[in-house]
Structure 1
Amino acid sequence: MVIVTVIAPAPPLVIDLDGTLLRTDLLLETGVEFIRHQPLGLLKLMGWLIKGKAALKEGLALATDVDVSVLPYDPSVIELITVERAKGRTVILATASHVSLAERVAEHLQLFDQVLASDGQTNLSSHRKRDLLVKHYGEQGFDYAGNSRDDIAVWGSARHAFVVNPDLGVEGRARAQGNVVQVIRNNFGGARDWMKALRMHQWMKNALIFVPLLAAHQLSNSLLLLQGVLAFLLFGLCASSVYLLNDLLDLADDRHHRSKCRRPFAAGRISIKAGLIVFPILLVASFSGAILWLPWEFASVLAAYYALTAAYSLYLKRLMAIDVIALAMLYTVRIIAGAAAFELPLTFWILAFSMFMFLSLALVKRYSELKEARRKGHTEKTRGRGYYPADLEMISSLGASSGYLAVMVLALYIHDQADTGLYAHPQFIWLACPLLLFWITRLWMVTHRGHMHDDPVVFAIKDRVSLIVGALFGLVFWVAA
């Protein structure tokens, strides 16, 4: 007699989407995308929310166009699915996200045998998801991979639990149920990611706040120096708040960019939820400090900076020419903020020099983006911008000209006896002109050769030649004084 052993097939593996397969949340993704394209659509959002979370998800999913091909998928979960499918196992995608998004994800990955998701009437989360899975596969008839508190109820009815990058306190509650077989934990969302998201290196730009103090030869005034340090910190908090908001609004564009796709929010290393919590906290802290400890004019300039940045992020960045002028103004506003903090007058020369110089740097930024687009063979308008790769030569001409105009302003400044009277030897300032000419010429040559960082300020901070030129530039003014 032949005894045949029948091995029962393994129960289905059910995978959650938001926070598990994806390092992001599609409800927040679609919400941010909606606000970006319809910033005045708050009433429509409220109308969907009044009808319930399921209606909100459906409204956002149908009103936005999320490119699922560039979403931040978790490679560890993809590997888990691939291994289990190779064993002949059925894999189910079960998510509280809207069915239209879930089906697009499944179609893109080609890893799922079935999709269970929310629709306009049912929000498929927590006990609703559990009940549906139990109805299909029975109690303990499936394995489940999830990450959030909503998944605890589902794990309770699963045979095996896979815990993926769990929210705070979730792992302990999942283990208490006694069926956790694997915890997948990736190292992200730490201090390094936050430093990058807050753009701490960009705080160097806020040193422009001290320009009016330098121009007035008041660096020895300890009280003004203290005010300057405080203004520097508060402006930094405001700028970091802006960077967070900008990255949240730019998720779609960043994920299509060769280097910006590695930004913490675009890569899913920091959650959208965390960004939405932190950016208003930084903003409130910045304005509270400005109102309490510095002249009211500084708070006014800070408000103007934030308004201009918000307008740039939402709209102006997509307009040809206006975008680079807005960027130049954002640099110049820092100098104006410094004058407001120190209660010092601004000169025509400082404002004229800064506008031309920073317009040149803004055009460097655009040139490097278009250079990369042309290298890839693109001919259409660049994503999220108002330029074509064919505009490359015109942008380089405008950018170099603007930089040289800044040198002209500096040369004319030397002949203004009303201002140069502050210097003991103003003739030495002439040496600053060839230094600046050299630096601008080299900057544009490096950009033309395709070696420029996406941000020329970051390039200048890391570039040894730029640092030497900067030191010599400062030395020239010190000798002249």
Structure 2
Amino acid sequence: MAETIAILHCRPGTAAFSDVTPLATLSRLFNFIDVAIVRFRSIVRSLSKERLFMYGIQGRVLEAPPPLVVDLDGTLLRSDLLFETAVAFIRHHPLQVFRLFAWLFQGKAALKQQLALATPIDVAWLPYNAHVIDYIKAERLTGRLIILATAAHGSIAERIAQHLQLFDQVWASDGATNLSAHRKRDLLVSHYGEGGFDYMGNSRDDLCVWAASRNAIIARPLAGVERQARAQGNVAQVIDSTNHPWRDWRKALRLHQWLKNALLFVPLMAAHQVQQSQQLLDGLWAFLCFGLCASSVYVLNDLLDLADDRQHRSKRERPFASGQLPIRAGLIAVPLLLIVAFAGAAALLPWQFSAVLAAYYLLTLVYSLYLKRHMAVDVIVLAMLYTTRILAGAAAFQLPLTFWILAFSMFLFLSLALVKRYAELRDARLREVDSKTRGRGYYPGDLDMIASLGASSGNLSVMVLALYIHEGTTVALYEHPHVIWLACPLLLFWITRVWMLTHRGMMNEDPVVFALRDRVSQGVGALFLLVFWIAA
């Protein structure tokens, strides 16, 4: 660098100048500037006092900005790592749930450490807050010291910092100390002094840290937190404060999936008792209770599938996977919905309905934890879950179920379950993915076999319907049973259309929900019912 300075002081015509080309001079000038910048930034970053100073060339004192301290849970991350690791632990070790309570008895810090060591978390797929990351990048360009201070366990915090490459230092919890609230405040004040840092957080635990900071920066504040923080008088900025909890909960509870509960009324229609008002009232109560139970299942399934959903093209936008809804709220909603569903069923409906509802929930739980990852078993269980709604309807109305209804529904719903798997695999093949679908037991190369099995299963349901026409009880129940033959081509058309749309990539939802929303399917369904009405 001394040689560069000497050359810069040379004048044209001197020996030193004649020995150096203009290009070489310019190159050395740039090298000199680069070295100066590196040394300057290293000096600034090495200082961690209440105020940082650097001296200008004329002796002026320029004040550098204080360090920016960023919280992790709920701020940089649209989630909480304690609950992320707890749910992941339950997902991988469902029979060891009791260990969570044993660890919690040792203290929150011990619980976090045990979960961090026992649970694999892929930090690359966590739901980061893009607005917060953009803010940090902008502040980093100014040469500001950026620090990650979190109550999450240090092993995960370090991996996140390494993944993002945004932080100069990381402070986190260990097995003995839970670095939150006043502990975090005391640590920061001991290093930077009162008012010697800016702090970004989002929860009530951050209020005492904001009070000790120069500027409070709020990111995605929890309810009431922004108002309390502003009362302290040092809020400088609020980042990403928009929330749509009602919309997010509507998506999480899958209220549109409640349309499938219309299957509860199939036994009532088959028994020709739709006109009885008491039966209809019981059906409405059954519809509500089954819907609440199903929503509990959907939320639980989303919590258990967080890692898989975040790597899926569309499922990554689900409320829990994207971090729009907190995992803690989901863990509260699951038992709450279940309690309300079974309390309503026990109070208003026959005990048989509660028994079928319990069987549905247990089967769904086993499906979510184990069976969904096994080829063929998963679609058979899905078909059984669809059929369980018909069983629940029969229990609610105290009506017997015939062999024909069960056989027809099993083949039809197996076809629709295979439609669901085909649609998922088709997307994977279009993305040129050759490996096994994440969380499932299928490969994209299985598409042709799945289509063959699905179409044949649907056609078997048509055959069951045709055989039903010549059953002795059918002749006794219908005045013109041969009219039911008209329902067979209608069903054949509908099954063929569903599979053709799926093959073309136009099936983007649950096929039963599709059937209840699609105009053509509604028309076919109306004609189907009309045929049976005429036959009666």
Short-chain TM bin: over 0.9
Q: Does 1:195 align with 2:250?
A: yes
Aligned to 1:385: 440
Pick one of 34, 38, 43 that aligns with 2:93: 38
- Residue 29 (str. 1) matches residue 112 (str. 2): no
Q: 1: CA distance between counterparts of 2:442 and 2:342?
A: 35
Alignment match of 1:403 (pick from 458, 478, 489): 458
1:93 paired residue among 129, 148, 159: 148
Q: Write the letter of the residue equivalent to 2:141.
A: A
Residue type of the alignment partner of 2:192: Y
Match of 2:531 in 1: 476
| The one of 368, 377, 397 aligned to 1:313 | 368
Deviation of 1:467 after TM superposition, in Å, equals 2.2
Give, in whole Å, the separation in 1 of the partners of 2:450 and 2:410.
Answer: 16
Does the CA-based 8 Å contact 2:436-2:442 persist in structure 1?
Answer: yes
* Superposition deviation, residue 420 in structure 1: 4.1
The separation in 1 between residues aligned to 2:191 and 2:110, in whole angstroms, is 25
**Secondary structure class of the residue paired with 2:64:** coil
2: CA distance, partners of 1:34 / 1:146: 27
Q: In 2, Cα distance between the equivalents of 1:265 and 1:141? A: 36
How far apart in 2 are the matches of 1:455 and 1:69? 29
Unaligned stretches of 5+ residues in structure 2: 1-56
One-letter code aligned to 1:386? G
Take 1:33 and 1:241, find their aligned partners in 2: how far apart are those partners?
18
Is the contact between residue 218 and residue 237 of structure 2 (CA under 8 Å) also seen in structure 1? yes
Tell me the alpha carbon deviations over residues 359-406 of structure 1, each in whole angstroms, 9 at most, x when there is no partner. Answer: 111111111111111222222211111111221111111111111101
Q: Which residue of 1 aligns with 2:62?
A: 7
Q: Does 1:376 align with 2:431?
A: yes
Per-residue CA deviation, residues 225-268 of structure 1 (Å, 9 max, x unaligned), is 11111111111111111111111111111111111111111111
Q: Pairwise mapping of residues 297-312 of structure 1 onto structure 2 (< 5 A)? A: 297-312=352-367
Alignment of 1:70-149 (within 5 A): 70-149=125-204
In structure 1, distance between residues paired with 2:487 and 2:241: 50
Please list the CA deviations of residues 138-182 of structure 1 after superposition, one character each: whole Å capped at 9, or x if unmatched: 211110010111111111111000112222232222122211111
Q: Per-residue displacement from partner, 1:39-60 (whole Å, max 9, x unpaired)?
A: 1112322232122111111111
User: Deviations for 1:312-337, whole angstroms, at most 9, x for unmatched residues?
Assistant: 11111111111111110101010000
Map 1:41-80; keep pairs closer than 5 Å. 41-80=96-135
Offset from partner CA, 1:172-224 (integer Å, 9 cap, x none): 22122211111224433421111111111101110110000000000011111
Post-superposition shift, 1:340? 0.4
CA positional deviation for 1:124: 0.8
**Pairwise CA RMSD:** 1.4
Deviates further, 253-262 or 110-119: 110-119
Give the conservation status (yes or no) of the 8 Å contact 1:251–1:265: yes
Aligned residues between the structures? 480
| SS of equivalent residue, structure 1 residue 265 | helix
Other structure's SS at 1:213 match: helix
Larger RCO, structure (CA 8 Å, separation 6 or more): 1
Paired letter, 2:127: P
- Structure 1 stretch 245-254 or stretch 131-140: which is displaced more? 131-140
Query: Displacement, 1:106?
Result: 1.3
Secondary structure of the 2:438 match is: coil
Contact kept in structure 2, 1:213 and 1:339, CA below 8 Å: yes
Q: Does 1:335 align with 2:390?
A: yes
> More deviation in 370-379 or 334-343?
370-379
Deviates more, 1:391-400 or 1:451-460: 451-460
Q: Distance in 2 between matches of 1:68 and 1:433?
A: 53
- What is the distance in 2 between the residues matched to 1:180 and 1:236? 44
**How far did residue 3 of structure 1 move?**
5.1
Distance in 1 (CA, whole Å) between partners of 2:182 and 2:242 is 30
Determine the C-alpha separation between the residues in 1 that align with 2:514 and 2:344. Answer: 31
Contact 1:189 1:270 survives alignment (8 Å): no
| Contact 1:369–1:454 (Cα < 8 Å) also in 2 | no
For residues 443 and 95 of structure 1, what CA distance do their matches in structure 2 show? 51
Between the aligned partners of 1:218 and 1:458, the Cα distance in structure 2 is 25
Secondary structure of the corresponding residue to residue 92 of structure 1: strand
Q: Which residue of 1 aligns with 2:223?
A: 168
Q: Distance in 1 between matches of 2:317 and 2:223?
A: 25
CA distance in 1, matches of 2:249, 2:535: 42
The CA deviation string for residues 44-79 of structure 1, in whole angstroms up to 9 with x for no partner, is: 222321221111111111111112222111122112
State the AA in 2 paired with 1:138: G
Q: 1:186 and 1:405, CA in 2 relative to 1: closer, same or farther beyond 3 A?
A: farther
Show CA shifts across 1:389-428 (max 9, x none): 2211111111111111011111111111313422232222
Q: Which moved more, 1:445-454 or 1:60-69?
A: 445-454
Q: Distance in 1 between matches of 2:62 and 2:478?
A: 91
**TM (normalized to structure 1)?**
0.97
For structure 1, the 5+ residue unaligned runs are none
Distance 1:91 1:207, change over 3 A: same
Q: Determine which structure has more spread, i.e. the larger CA radius of gyration.
A: 2
Conservation of the 8 A alpha-carbon contact between 1:188 and 1:270: no
Choose the corresponding residue for 1:445, options 500, 510, 520. 500
Q: Which piece of structure 1 moves more, 163-172 or 141-150? A: 163-172
Distance change >3 Å, CA 258–CA 458, structure 1 → 2: farther
Deviating more after overlay: 199-208 vs 119-128? 119-128
